Amino acid sequence: MSMPSTDDGCGKRPAVAGIIITTMWPSLIAKAKEGGLDAIQTYVFWNLHEPQPGQYDFTGRNDIVSFIKQVQQQGLYVSLRIGPFIEAEWGYGGLPFWLHDVPGIVFRTNNDPFKIENEYQNIERAFHEEGTLYLNWTAQMAVDQNTGEPWMMCKQDDAPDPVINTCNGMRCDETWNGPNSPNKPSIWTENWTSFFQPYGEDVVMRSAQDLAFHTTMFILKLNGSFVNYYMYHGGTNFGRTPASFMITGYYDQAPLDEYGLTRQPKYGHLKDLHAALRMCSQTLLYGNLTIEDLGEYQDAYVYEGNSGECVAFLVNNGSRESIQVVFRNTSYTLPSKSISILPDCKTVFFNTAMVNAQVNTRSYQPIIRFDSPQKWEVFSEPIPQFDQTSLRSDTLPEQMNSTKDTSDYMWYTMR
Ligand SMILES: *[C@@H]1O[C@H](CO)[C@@H](O)[C@H](O)[C@H]1NC(C)=O
Ligand SMILES: *[C@@H]1O[C@H](CO)[C@@H](O)[C@H](O)[C@H]1NC(C)=O
Ligand SMILES: *[C@@H]1O[C@H](CO)[C@@H](O)[C@H](O)[C@H]1NC(C)=O
Ligand SMILES: *[C@@H]1O[C@H](CO)[C@@H](O)[C@H](O)[C@H]1NC(C)=O
Ligand SMILES: *[C@@H]1O[C@H](CO)[C@@H](O)[C@H](O)[C@H]1NC(C)=O
Ligand SMILES: CC(=O)N[C@H]1CO[C@H](CO)[C@@H](O)[C@@H]1O
C-alpha cells in the first residue's frame, strides 16, 4: 500500500483573511463600546499560536497581545478564556494536532502529559474519581499562578473555591442555581444570542426581546453581575479552522453579524437595555432588594439606597397577554414576558419587549460573477506512480496519523 499524502491547499489559510480581520478590530471594539459593553471576552486558540511544537505564531490575526492592548486603549476590559481546551466549535477545541503524538497522552483527564481545560462538567463523570482529581488540580494550578485576577470555570457547578462557577446557556435565569458559595458573583459566561450553525441544520433565531428579558431576569433573580453575550460578534472561520460539523460563518445572527455590521434591532435594543441598567447600576449594586407581588405572574424588584435612591424592575413572567399592574399607586402596562425598568421607581425608561431600535436588513450585490467559463480555473492534481511514492505500509493506515491533519484528503493505492 502506498500513500502519497497531498496538500490541495485546503490546509493553507488565505493570508488576506488575516489582514482583513486585524484591520476590523478597532471598529469592532468601537461598536461594542458604543453598544454599551464594558468588557470583551475572547479565547486563546492554542493551535493557531503553536501549530508545531515550539513553533510560535503571534503575528497578524494571531497577535492576541495587540488585540488586548487595542481593547484597553478604547477603555474596555478583557475577559480571557485561556483554555487551552476552548471547544468554541473550533478544530479540536483549540488543541494542536501534534498533542496526539505526545507519548502516553490521554485527553481531558488526570494525565500528566495533558493538564488543561474548559467546560469540563459533562466530561468529568466519565473519568470517575480521576475526573474530580483532575478538576481540583486545574483549579489549584490556576490559583497558584498568583495573577491577582479572579478565575472562573464555565458550566462547572462544583468549581472548587475560590474559582467561580459560571453559567453558559440561553436562559441562565431559569436553568442555573447560581454561585456555589455566597462570596462569588453570578456570572453568565455564555448567554447565547442565537446559536452556532452546524451543517445542514436550520438557522436558530433568537429575538432581541427574549435576549433582553432573560439578561435582565438574570440580574434580578441571581444578582447577576457579569453577562457575556455569546457571541456579540462571531466572524468567519477561514480554511480548515472550524470543527468538522460547522459551517464557516460563526454566529451571523449576533448583534454584530459575521461581517462586523450591526444587526438591528438586536444591537440597538441591547444598547438601550445597557443604558437603562447603567442608570440603575449604583442602586442595583449597593441598594437593598425587596420583591413586591403585583399579580399571579407579576413582581416588582425594588432596589433602594439609603439616600432615597430607588430603582424598580416590573416583571411580567406571564406569556399570554399584556397586563395592567399597579405599582406605588401608578398603573403600568406590561406586555407578556417583559420587564419594565424604572430608574427612579416612577418613569418607565425601557421595556424588554418594546423595541425602539431601528430595524435594518442586509442586501447583497454580486461583485464577481462566475458566469463565464473563462473565469474558472481547472487544477489537475498529479497522481503519482506507485514507484514514485515513499510511504509504504502493509496494514491499513489511519488517516489522521498519516496526514497529521494537514489535509482532509488522502490518496492511496492498494494492491
Ligand atoms: C476536590 O476538591 C473538593 C473541594 O475542594 C473536595 O471536597 C474534594 O474532596 C476533592 N476531590 C478529590 C477527588 O480530591
Ligand atoms: C441575591 O442577593 C440577595 C440579597 O443580598 C440574597 O438574599 C440572595 O440570596 C442572593 N441570591 C443569589 C442567587 O445569590
Ligand atoms: C440595607 O439593609 C441593611 C439592614 O437592614 C442596612 O443596614 C443598610 O443600611 C441598608 N442599605 C441601604 C443601602 O439602604
Ligand atoms: C417564568 O416562567 C417560566 C415558565 O414560563 C418559569 O420556568 C420561570 O421559572 C419563571 N420565572 C420566574 C422568575 O418566576
Ligand atoms: C398611595 O395611595 C395611598 C392612598 O391614597 C396613600 O396613602 C399612599 O401614601 C400612596 N403611596 C404612594 C407610594 O404614593
Ligand atoms: C444551560 C441552558 O440554559 N441551556 C439551554 C440553552 O438553550 C437550549 C435551547 O436553545 C436549551 O435546550 C438549553 O437547556
Strand pairing report for 350-351 and 338-342: antiparallel
**Residue 70 resides in a domain:** yes
Q: How far is the CA of 187 from the centre of ligand 3 (A)?
A: 24
124 and 224 together in one domain:
yes
196 in Cβ contact with 251 (< 8 Å): yes
188 and 107 together in one domain:
yes
**Angle at alpha carbon of residue 300, lines to 296 and 305, rounded to 5°:** 160
129 is catalytic: no
Which three cell numbers mark 313?
A: 424592575
Verify whether ligand 1 is closer than 6 Å to residue 180 (CB atom).
no
Tell which of 321, 351, 381 closes a domain: 351
Distance from C-alpha of 41 to C-alpha of 134, rounded to nearest angstrom: 25
pLDDT of residue 19: 57
Q: How far is the CA of 278 from the centre of ligand 2 (A)?
A: 20
Q: Which ligand is nearest to the CA of 310?
A: 3
pLDDT of residue 340: 98
Q: How far is the CA of 302 from the centre of ligand 3 (A)?
A: 13
The two counts, helices (H) then strands (E), for the chain are 9, 15
214 in Cβ contact with 173 (< 8 Å): yes
289 and 257 together in one domain:
no
226 and 113 together in one domain:
yes
Nearest residue (CA) to ligand 2, atom 1: 223
Verify whether ligand 3 is closer than 6 Å to residue 4 (CB atom).
no
Q: Which of 117, 124, 190, 258 is catalytic?
A: 190
Closest C-alpha among 361, 41, 61 to residue 232: 41
pLDDT of residue 6: 32
**Residue 321 resides in a domain:** yes
250 in Cβ contact with 196 (< 8 Å): yes
Q: How far is CA 400 from CA 57, 262, 404, in A?
A: 23, 40, 5
| DSSP string for residues in 364-411 | ---SS---SGGG----PPP---GGG---B-SSPPPHHHHHTTS-S---
3-state secondary structure of 349: coil
Element housing 324 (H / E): strand 323-327
Closest C-alpha among 214, 165, 167, 218 to residue 188: 167
293 and 253 together in one domain:
no
Tell which of 334, 351, 368 closes a domain: 351
**Residue 153 resides in a domain:** yes
Q: Which ligand is nearest to the CA of 140?
A: 1
**Residue 405 resides in a domain:** no
Distance from C-alpha of 216 to C-alpha of 208, rounded to nearest angstrom: 12
Q: How far is the CA of 177 from the centre of ligand 4 (A)?
A: 14
Supply the range of the domain harboring residue 304: 281-351
90 and 193 together in one domain:
yes
pLDDT of residue 17: 47
**Residue 112 resides in a domain:** yes
Number of domains present in the structure of the chain: 2
pLDDT < 50: residue spans in the chain: 1-17
**Angle at alpha carbon of residue 130, lines to 127 and 131, rounded to 5°:** 60
**Residue 399 resides in a domain:** no
Q: Which atom of ligand 6 is nearest to the CA of 155?
A: 1
Q: List Cβ<8 Å contacts ≥24 apart for 164-173.
A: 168/119, 168/192, 168/230, 170/206, 170/214, 171/214, 172/214, 172/218, 172/222, 172/224, 173/214, 173/217, 173/218, 173/220, 173/221, 173/222, 173/224
Tell which of 303, 319, 351 closes a domain: 351
Q: Which of 119, 124, 149, 304 is catalytic?
A: 119
258 and 285 together in one domain:
no
**Residue 177 resides in a domain:** yes
220 and 335 together in one domain:
no
217 and 332 together in one domain:
no
310 and 247 together in one domain:
no
Distance from C-alpha of 376 to C-alpha of 370, rounded to nearest angstrom: 7
- Residues 322-376: pLDDT tens digits? 999 999 999 999 999 999 999 999 999 999 999 999 999 888 888 877 777 767 7
Distance from C-alpha of 207 to C-alpha of 269, rounded to nearest angstrom: 10
Residue 43: CA count within 13 A, CB half-sphere: 24
**Residue 77 resides in a domain:** yes
- The one-letter amino acid code at 62 reads N
Q: How far is the CA of 173 from the centre of ligand 4 (A)?
A: 9
Residue whose grid cell is 483532575: 134
pLDDT of residue 117: 67
Q: Which atom of ligand 4 is nearest to the CA of 315?
A: 13
Closest C-alpha among 275, 274, 278, 321 to residue 296: 321
- Residues 108-130: pLDDT tens digits? 777 777 777 666 777 777 788 88
3-state secondary structure of 6: coil
Q: Cis omega before residue 152 (within 30°)? A: no
Verify whether ligand 3 is closer than 6 Å to residue 286 (CB atom).
yes
202 and 305 together in one domain:
no
pLDDT of residue 102: 85
320 and 254 together in one domain:
no
- Other CB atoms within 10 A of residue 195 CB: 16
119 is catalytic: yes
Q: What is the CATH number of the domain that holds 124?
A: 3.20.20.80
Which three cell numbers mark 247?
A: 459551517
